[in-house]
Structure 1
Amino acid sequence: MTRETVRTLAALRHTVRSIALGHRLPADERARLVQSLTEVAAPVLVGGRSVTLLSGRGTDEDGARLLTLALRLPRQASGTAVATDRLPLRAQTRSDGTVVWHLPLPEGQPASRPQATPAAATRNSDADVALLEEELRAALARADALADEHRRLKDEMAETNSGVLALYVQLEERDEQLRTAHGRTLRALEDALRPRPLHVDGLELAVHYAPASDEAPTGGDLYDWFTLPDGTVHFTVVDALGHGITSTRTALTVTHAVRTLALEGHPLESIVARTDGILTPFDQSVMATLLLARLDPADGRLDLANGSHPPALLAHGDGTATYLEVRGRGVGFPLPGSERVLSTRLEPDDVLLLYTDGLTESRRDPCEGEARLKDALCRHRAQPTERIPGLVAEELVSEVLHRDDTLAIAVRRTGGDPQLRQPSEAPK
């Protein structure tokens, strides 16, 4: 290993540059090596002391050729050396303070002897300037290459972003198409769950339904209506526990069971209990409230049975309204059944409202909800029948603490007038 004593920064730079040039190191690596040794030795050389530079060749564990340079500092100066992990070329520091660099040599290019010595440094300033300019050009070329690479990556990133944005737009369009198709399917399912429009002389019927969530337009609030063989009209309003498709299945099961029992001729007061007796042995999870009503359009006789459901509300022609209270327990409840059947009369132009608790419990205070519902029905009773359920629901759920399925059915007795208006649903 060659040993040299160096006393000035100029001599150090010249010597290191000559060694690197002699070993065919690239200009950019040569510049990093010169700068690294300069930073380590500068505190010592500027202070008027000397350093020892050692250089030699060797191999690593894999047999690759290496150039080794070692900078030995005076003992009293070893503690002032710069951090070697922050140098342009990282180095190792030995226990005696010597700083060592190991650089791989280019393949296939034999090293030549160094072109100068420290004593000749001052006589080769022109050569040093030429080498320095070469290193500067290499640094600039590398900077230009990095800038070109940065621009290329930026362009690729912009192109990628453009592609991602286009893909995102396509996915949004596809998602919108799927949502539209999903909505159409669910609306068709919702329509399929409803009974057919019922046209009865002497009655006007209208219904409003709104789900708790637009993402699940079916829920546990269902209704059924049909004409019995004796000419009376049967109404069923069901509110199954929960939301979504599961509660819809429960409500459908209950309404179908009630329809079957009613058409078989079972008395109204027994149907709630019989429905529970039929369903709960097969499914212990079934739980629903229900309200049953039978109305004779000829004389206005109205019979009601209840299973834990909110009471029907009757608005009279004089502007007053009355809740038709019937106690009972619903399907899946302990001791299910209606305690009695309430009988009353629906006079011409009276309006009967059957509904679910989504209307009265929107503010978590059923008493307040019932009072607001009564006021709303009295205020809208004179409106066309097809508008009443929607107007009442809109008023009661305009300010809610929590959303729930809402169902309202309006029944007006017209006194048997054959000129009936077409029943329709209020807008959702």
Structure 2
Amino acid sequence: MTRSPIARLRHRLREACAAAGVTTDDRAKLVLAVTLLAERAEHPPELSTHAGNGRLAVTLRLPGLVGQDHRNALPLLPDAGDSAVLTWHLPAVHDAATVPVDDELATREEMLALIARADTLTQEQRELKHELAETNSGVLAMYVELEERDERLRQAHAVIFRELEDALRPPPPHVDAFDLAVHYAPSEPDSPTGGDLYDWFVLPDGTVHITLVDAVGHGVTSTRHALTVTHAIRTLALEGHPLHDLIARAAGTLATIEPGLMATVLLARLDPVTGDVTVANGSHPRPVLVTAAGDTELLVPSIVGRGIGFPDPGNGSLVGRTLAAGDLLLLYTDGLTESRKNHQEGEGRLLAAARRHAGESTATIPGALATEMHDIVLHADDTVVIAIRRKPAP
């Protein structure tokens, strides 16, 4: 696959950081800073790197001047000055091993590092505000300044998360046999991340794997937990572990790493040759199948499974169907059906709405369902809707 100029720029940065032994945290901030600058530039900037004396020097030559105010807004500050040439110096380890750079894995590592950094900064701000609140009125001016800094921090977090949205929510994989579409809506407009995440990719045997996760909680902690689950399941799936074993195996793996993590999980496998779909469900809302003839069905397992962090985690029994041409499968998180605080009523409304919208293009169905289901919102929650339709055979 041909990389875009910005993707090639990130790849070169990661190669230089790997060869010099730069930490993941420093690499994440550097890659994000260079990406923000490159996206604003009219032409691709020039990049050069040099390692020596325990430091990695990274120089970026842009087509226009970059003011100090713009530099100060970057997640990793370059050397001071107003010019079109920016330089960063990062601590390096000379004896670091040179290994091939996997951009997808590197992006996930950088996301985890940035989210953890944001989480730490938020906690430090909260503790500082609490300490100031216990002091006398003589620190009122300092408190006001802290509030302003806190607002700037929230804005900076929003910029970081917007830049990470593409990586957190990957575009649909290209599969000739299926049309795939997704809609995501956060519970709060100014907080573009939450605990609802999805992942989809094509396995070496040609089948399509889809993971849908709803981590318990809100904010960056739930985002980190959901990302941890999707990454663990992707790794296990690519290692060849069978579908029926993935949820329980991921739960066992994560129990010692993230003991407080709880998440519902839904896994789906699509065979582009036969149209077979197999679903593994761990405490997640049940998928909806709408046939080309307009019949609807909830895919209910005979043995109910439990999610990660729940007692006896696993998927229970698998549910299998064969999609005919035109059949529509809907996967979603509970934010879609619980906006009125009644899950059963929400399922009934979803079945009726799915029948009404099934004739529309696949790309518009997820957003149309979310709009109709959220006509009344008594309980706001993150919402993901994935639509899968089997295409007619060529």
- TM (norm. structure 2) is 0.60
Check if 1:221 corresponds to 2:196: yes
What is residue 308 of structure 1 aligned with on the other side?
A: 283
Give per-residue Cα distances to partners, 1:92-138, cap 9 Å, x unaligned.
xxxxxxxxxxxxxxxxxxxxxxxxxxxxxxxxxxxxxxxxxxxxxxx
**Residues 246, 413 of structure 1: alpha-carbon distance in 2 compared, 3 angstrom cutoff:** same
Out of 336, 340, 350, the position equivalent to 1:359 is: 336
The Cα of 1:186 is off from its aligned counterpart by: 2.3
Unaligned runs of 5+ in 2: 1-146
What is residue 128 of structure 1 aligned with on the other side?
A: none
Give per-residue Cα distances to partners, 1:384-409, cap 9 Å, x unaligned.
11000000001001211020000000
Check if 1:335 corresponds to 2:312: yes
The Cα of 1:364 is off from its aligned counterpart by: 1.1
Out of 373, 379, 388, the position equivalent to 1:402 is: 379
**Contact 2:158 2:191 survives alignment (8 Å):** no
The Cα of 1:177 is off from its aligned counterpart by: 9.1
**Contact 2:289 2:296 survives alignment (8 Å):** yes
**Contact 1:240 1:247 survives alignment (8 Å):** yes
**Contact 2:281 2:306 survives alignment (8 Å):** yes
Over alpha carbons, which structure has the higher Rg?
1
SS at match of 1:359: coil
Q: Quote the Cα distance in structure 1 between the aligned partners of 2:362 and 2:203.
A: 23
The Cα of 1:350 is off from its aligned counterpart by: 0.7
SS at match of 1:280: helix
Unaligned runs of 5+ in 1: 1-170, 418-428
The Cα of 1:197 is off from its aligned counterpart by: 3.2
Correspondences of 1:244-393 after superposition (within 5 Å): 244-326=219-301, 327-393=304-370
Give per-residue Cα distances to partners, 1:161-190, cap 9 Å, x unaligned.
xxxxxxxxxx99x99998776544322222
Q: Quote the Cα distance in structure 2 between the aligned partners of 1:180 and 1:250.
A: 23
**Contact 2:197 2:214 survives alignment (8 Å):** yes
The Cα of 1:258 is off from its aligned counterpart by: 0.6
SS at match of 1:208: strand
Paired amino acid for 1:395: E
SS at match of 2:309: coil
The Cα of 1:195 is off from its aligned counterpart by: 2.3
Check if 1:199 corresponds to 2:174: yes
**Contact 1:203 1:416 survives alignment (8 Å):** no
What is residue 236 of structure 1 aligned with on the other side?
A: 211
Percent of aligned pairs with the same residue? 58
**C-alpha RMSD of the superposition:** 2.2
Q: Quote the Cα distance in structure 2 between the aligned partners of 1:416 and 1:211.
A: 36
Paired amino acid for 2:371: E
**Residues 416, 175 of structure 1: alpha-carbon distance in 2 compared, 3 angstrom cutoff:** farther
Give per-residue Cα distances to partners, 1:302-359, cap 9 Å, x unaligned.
1111100011111111112101012200000000001111111111111110000001
Give per-residue Cα distances to partners, 1:120-159, cap 9 Å, x unaligned.
xxxxxxxxxxxxxxxxxxxxxxxxxxxxxxxxxxxxxxxx
